[in-house]
């Protein structure tokens, strides 16, 4: 595997899932693969889970790890070509990327959407530059439009906790005070559509339609209560306006409707549904304290499975070196 961005990069999902459970049973089984190999993790944005779980996965596979926080100690990077660099940015990404590639065998990149230029974000401009100029296999650790390590961990978590063969899984928008990217819901939708045994529904206020390439054939239900009825899993997430119905709204907050906050009443509409969120989560905006603390909350097992999803991805990349 040369890059990990979309669900298709993993090949058949049943095989990838089997590999995930094999690794979960024996995390150090493939430790020989990473000997004298180095992972470089590059963060343009903050992280807790991705940073820790990716480093842990790489260590399980016997790798050395270098972590670079671009905004903490490195030269400020220019990302646009053609700019006269007389401002505060000392180095261009087009030199920085191949230099980073010199010191490692694999690269993980976290670079969130800027949420001002939809075309630039949805072209995955920064990620594509890493793929083109680093000379190394590259995986997304949440980029402008996708967060596949999270979606893979979510699918593993659903598989582990489902009590019916074909669970109803509902992705619900919830309110937030800051404009957040669409990467998590985009990837979650892509992965749920690819999973064979999931009845997948998306619910959000009108105007918050996700990009059609991620929605695929999923059912979209604007009535949150109807969407929740009979659900086995509720996957909550805020996202800013994707600008699909109105480009001028891209990256903006066009609803703060607190009636979408997932509380015990919302969960009572479900089929004893499990609550999921990728974290970090702002309590009592996205979800109430009692729901996230309830026995039906899967937020911690979900985070734990980030180590597993990442182990499969790094293993595949090491095997292909
Ligand atoms: C990020 C987001 O919504 O994409 C990261 C989630 C994994 N969240 C925040 O910036 C709070
Ligand atoms: N879920 C997730 O990716 O968390 P971090 O932003 O803390 O890495």
Task: State pLDDT tens for residues 256-314.
Answer: 999 999 999 999 999 999 999 999 999 999 999 999 999 999 999 999 999 999 999 99
Closest ligand 1 atom to Cα of 150 = 7
Closest ligand 2 atom to Cα of 110 = 8
Return the pLDDT at 318.
Answer: 98
**Average pLDDT, integer, range 72-78:** 92
DSSP designation for 16: H
**Complete edge-to-edge strand list for the sheet that includes strand 38-43:** 3-4, 138-140, 106-110, 38-43, 64-69
**Average pLDDT, integer, range 51-61:** 98
Q: Is the CB of 54 under 6 A from ligand 2?
A: no
CA 278 – ligand 1 centroid, Å: 8
CA 280 – ligand 1 centroid, Å: 7
d(CA 302, CA 321): 29
Per the document, the length of the chain is: 321
The topology (CATH level 3) of 150-302 is: Rossmann fold (3.40.50)
Pocket probe for ligand 2: among 41, 46, 50, 52, the residue whose CB has the most ligand atoms within 8 Å is 50
Return the pLDDT at 25.
Answer: 98
Q: Of 132, 129, 137, whose CA–CA distance to 108 is shortest? A: 137
Contact 107, 42 (CB under 8 A): yes
Residues contacting 14, CB < 8 A, separation 6+:
196
CA 181 – ligand 1 centroid, Å: 7
Closest ligand 2 atom to Cα of 278 = 1
Closest ligand 1 atom to Cα of 183 = 4
**Average pLDDT, integer, range 148-168:** 98
pLDDT band at 73 (very low <50, low <70, confident <90, very high): confident
pLDDT band at 246 (very low <50, low <70, confident <90, very high): very high
**Average pLDDT, integer, range 199-223:** 98
Q: Is the CB of 181 under 6 A from ligand 1?
A: yes
Percentage of the chain beyond pLDDT 90 is 98
Q: Is 285 annotated as a binding residue?
A: no
**Average pLDDT, integer, range 43-65:** 98
Domain boundaries, the chain: 3-146+306-320, 150-302
At CA 257, angle to CA 251 and CA 263, rounded to 5? 120
Judge if 3-146+306-320 and 150-302 fold alike in CATH terms.
yes
**To the nearest whole number, what is the mean pLDDT of the chain?**
97
Pocket probe for ligand 1: among 148, 180, 235, the residue whose CB has the most ligand atoms within 8 Å is 180
Query: Exposed (0-12), middle (13-18) or buried (19+): which is 268, by Cβ within 10 Å?
Result: exposed
Return the pLDDT at 77.
Answer: 93
CA 136 – ligand 2 centroid, Å: 23
**Average pLDDT, integer, range 174-199:** 98
Return the pLDDT at 147.
Answer: 98
Q: Is the CB of 278 under 6 A from ligand 1?
A: yes
Considering the domain delimited by 3-146+306-320, tell me its CATH architecture: 3-Layer(aba) Sandwich (3.40)
Backbone angles phi, psi at 145, to 5 degrees: -125, -5
Q: What pTM does this model have?
A: 0.98
**pLDDT > 90? residue 184:** yes
Q: Is the CB of 50 under 6 A from ligand 2?
A: yes
């Amino acid at each position: 595997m040369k890059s990990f961005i979309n669900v298709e990069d993993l090949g058949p999902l049943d095989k990838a899932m089997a590999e995930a459970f094999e690794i979960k049973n024996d995390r150090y089984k493939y430790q020989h693969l990473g000997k004298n190999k180095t992972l470089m993790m590059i963060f343009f944005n903050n992280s807790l889970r991705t940073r820790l779980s990716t480093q842990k996965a790489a260590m399980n596979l016997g790798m050395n790890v270098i972590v670079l926080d671009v905004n903490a100690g490195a030269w400020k990077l220019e990302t646009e070509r053609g700019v006269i660099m007389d401002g505060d940015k000392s180095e261009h990404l087009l030199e920085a990327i191949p230099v980073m590639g010199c010191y490692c065998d694999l690269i993980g990149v976290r670079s969130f959407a800027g949420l001002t230029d939809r075309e630039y974000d949805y072209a995955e401009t920064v990620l594509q530059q890493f793929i083109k100029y680093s000379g190394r296999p590259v995986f997304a650790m949440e980029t402008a439009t996708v967060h596949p390590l999270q979606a893979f961990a979510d699918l593993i978590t659903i598989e582990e906790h489902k009590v019916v063969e074909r669970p109803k899984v509902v992705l619900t928008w919830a309110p937030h005070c800051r404009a957040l990217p669409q990467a998590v819901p985009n990837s979650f939708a892509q992965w749920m559509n690819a999973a064979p045994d999931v009845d997948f529904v998306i619910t959000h206020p009108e105007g918050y339609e996700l990009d059609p390439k991620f929605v695929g054939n999923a059912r979209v239900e604007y009535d949150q209560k109807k969407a929740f009825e009979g659900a086995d899993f509720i996957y909550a997430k805020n996202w800013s306006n994707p600008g699909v119905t109105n480009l001028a709204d891209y990256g903006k907050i066009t609803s703060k409707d607190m009636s979408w906050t997932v509380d015990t009443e919302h969960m009572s509409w479900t089929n004893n549904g499990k609550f999921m969120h990728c974290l970090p989560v702002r309590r009592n905006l996205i979800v109430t304290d009692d729901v996230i603390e309830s026995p039906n909350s899967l937020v911690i097992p979900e985070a734990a499975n980030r180590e597993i999803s990442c182990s499969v991805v790094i293993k595949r990349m090491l095997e292909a070196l």
